[in-house]
Structure 1
Amino acid sequence: MTTSRDDTMNADAPQTLVIPAGDFVMGSDDGAANESRAHLVWVDAFAISPYAVTTAEYALFLHATGHAAPPFWGSEEFADPRQPVVAASWHDAMAYCSWLSEGVGHQYRLPTEAEREKAARGGEVAKSPWGDELPPEHRGGRDTPLEPVDAYDANGYGLYGMASGVHEWCADWYAGNYYAASPSRNPVGPPSGERKVARGGSWRHHVRFTRCSARSALAPEKQFTDFGFRVVHSPTCQHRVHGLTGEAR
């Protein structure tokens, strides 16, 4: 739906952290077939929210715009305002980004798949944001409750929930063999497809999705209780860089 000036009056700029431009190793040679091949990718600097969009933040969007609430909205299981919003489709996430952009002034969007993986790695090359081993407090997966967005420690970039909570929508269309011919600078996925990429582990899925390189995908109209999103935008002069205030670099 189209938002008006009045629709955006409750939009507040979320905190963001700048991820500096540079190369990182994307993908994996010892994961699922769609994670192969491990390859060096350059990503320009971008600013990303340290948290997935919360139920409280999404409630402001719904109130301001009259956008249809997702399934399970208001249910006791997902009522904690600190939890990531769930069951928002890719289209819902894009509508939220448009509303936020009009209200705040920055051009907010969903991260590309490459941006999301670089952010999840936190400047490291380990399999998961916390290292190569899976500690007990991060086992998550099936039959675990959905927790607040800051339930676990941040990664090396100061980002929370990059491998737990909800699968997070990305901007890209999905192709299982995309890495076979993907560009080495700022890849944005194939030009079309049937499913959109999602990244990160979730409260009800297999722990293998906690790997930084793990890829999942879903049709953009689907609304599942283990899918959510976080926002990014191009860096401006003054933002928090790895937890320190300074110029984007």
Structure 2
Amino acid sequence: MKTFLGLTAFLLASASIAQVQHNTLSMSFVKIPAGEFLMGSDEKPETMARDYPQLPRERFELLQDEGPVHRVRITKAFWMGRHEVTVGQFRRFIQASGYVPESEADGTGGYGWRADYDPSKTRRGDAFEGRDKRYSWRNPGFQQGDDHPVVNITWNDAQALADWLTKTEGRRYRLPTEAEWEYAARAGTRSRYHSGDDPASLLKAANIFDADSARHWPHWQAMALAGHDGFAFTAPVGRFAPNAWGLHDMHGNAWEWVSDWHADDYYKNSPVDDPQGPPDGGVKVRRGGSWHTWAFYARSSYRNWNAPDTRYTLVGMRLVREALPGE
């Protein structure tokens, strides 16, 4: 069953890779075909402990929300952002709409990196400083160009961008559902990453926590991939190899908000066709990992979550543009 579903999705996708659309903010969208896949992971803790020896065993006992593995059918094709939303695209949205992001509107700011910040001397021990009004999407504490993924974006900010594009262009934009996100990220695979099962395969496919990033956090050196991807912080979007469906940075660079509320037991009750997530909740799901994420947490099946007003120096977004009849 796994082989059949994966092969079917891959074959369906092969015809759609060349289909790309662009919008008024110069975003590129790749057509993702309707199809079926197996969502989630059923890997045993023993296997995880063997392949990720840096992490304590108890981490692998806390993945119940990744199962059970279940069949999902995406019944309609959709257009997925080829890249994460960039700083430049978000800036143009702000300038055109007058929208004030939450990190600025509430005056509390976001999170950011500071060279002399010592997590061990703080109450929470967080890797980044914040909330602080010095930090926002404009300034995560490190240098970014307009072609880098925008971060310090709340779920509500992402929704505001999607709503503005919908109103401006007359085409519906939205965040992907969690099922759409994993379907698109896997691109016909059943491995941990679209690049395979080996964490080292991410060095060419993703910007995650490696030797370049670890030099700023030497006490987490053991968690870093033993190699260099060339970027200590965010990378320009599209610098790493795409998956089979032409999508870049589905692993790493920036965590990506999806539309769903999170529930640990949702997969047990998920419908087969186009699951939308629980009807309500307290936290929204984010997927894919970031430039500061350990390889284990960048797996296609891994689920993380935050309150909708969370703004963090690792969290950004990717949008979906719904397909018109006949596209």
**Residue 23 (structure 2) pairs with residue 14 (structure 1):** no
Aligned to 1:132: 197
Report the 3-state secondary structure (helix = DSSP H, G, I; strand = E; otherwise coil) of the residue aligned with 1:77: coil
Give 1:206 shift.
2.3
In the aligned structure 2, how far is the partner of 1:27 from the partner of 1:208?
14
In the aligned structure 2, how far is the partner of 1:198 from the partner of 1:188?
14
Q: 2:87 aligns with which of 55, 74, 96?
A: 55
Aligned length: 230
**Residue 153 (structure 2) pairs with residue 88 (structure 1):** yes
Give 1:12 shift.
3.3
In the aligned structure 2, how far is the partner of 1:113 from the partner of 1:151?
24
Aligned to 2:122: none
State whether residues 108 and 233 of structure 1, in contact with CA within 8 Å, keep that contact through their aligned partners in structure 2. yes
**Residue 262 (structure 2) pairs with residue 156 (structure 1):** no
Aligned to 1:28: 41
State the one-letter code of the partner of 2:27.
P
Please, which moves more after superposition, 113-122 or 77-86?
A: 77-86
If asked which structure has higher relative contact order (CA below 8 Å, sep 6+), I would say: 1
Q: 2:312 aligns with which of 209, 219, 224?
A: 224
Identical-pair percentage: 36
State the one-letter code of the partner of 1:141.
F
Q: Deviations over 1:81-123 (max 9, x none)?
A: 1111001100000000011112222100000000000000012
Calculate the TM-score normalised by the size of structure 1.
Answer: 0.86
Please, which moves more after superposition, 69-78 or 55-64?
A: 69-78
Aligned to 2:11: none
State whether residues 195 and 202 of structure 2, in contact with CA within 8 Å, keep that contact through their aligned partners in structure 1. no
Report the 3-state secondary structure (helix = DSSP H, G, I; strand = E; otherwise coil) of the residue aligned with 2:91: helix
Aligned to 2:59: none
- Structure showing greater radius of gyration is 2
Alignment of 1:32-51 (within 5 A): 32-44=63-75, 45-51=77-83
State whether residues 144 and 234 of structure 2, in contact with CA within 8 Å, keep that contact through their aligned partners in structure 1. no
Report the 3-state secondary structure (helix = DSSP H, G, I; strand = E; otherwise coil) of the residue aligned with 2:88: helix
**Residue 268 (structure 2) pairs with residue 200 (structure 1):** no
In the aligned structure 1, how far is the partner of 2:286 from the partner of 2:271?
19
Aligned to 1:234: 322
Aligned to 1:167: 255
Aligned to 1:115: 180
Calculate the TM-score normalised by the size of structure 2.
Answer: 0.66
In the aligned structure 1, how far is the partner of 2:152 from the partner of 2:33?
31
Please, which moves more after superposition, 207-216 or 137-146?
A: 137-146
Q: Deviations over 1:12-61 (max 9, x none)?
A: 36321111111101000017221111111001221111101000000001
The runs of 5 or more residues in structure 1 that have no matched partner are 1-9, 238-246
Give 1:67 shift.
1.8
Aligned to 1:7: none
- More helix by percentage: 2
Aligned to 1:72: 136
State the one-letter code of the partner of 1:54.
T
Give 1:78 shift.
4.4
The runs of 5 or more residues in structure 2 that have no matched partner are 1-22, 45-62, 104-134, 214-231
In the aligned structure 2, how far is the partner of 1:54 from the partner of 1:158?
17
- RMSD between aligned residues: 1.9
Q: 1:99 aligns with which of 140, 157, 164?
A: 164
In the aligned structure 2, how far is the partner of 1:148 from the partner of 1:90?
22
In the aligned structure 1, how far is the partner of 2:181 from the partner of 2:313?
20
Give 1:129 shift.
1.5
Report the 3-state secondary structure (helix = DSSP H, G, I; strand = E; otherwise coil) of the residue aligned with 1:170: strand
Aligned to 1:243: none
In the aligned structure 2, how far is the partner of 1:124 from the partner of 1:110?
22
Give 1:136 shift.
5.9
State whether residues 56 and 82 of structure 1, in contact with CA within 8 Å, keep that contact through their aligned partners in structure 2. yes
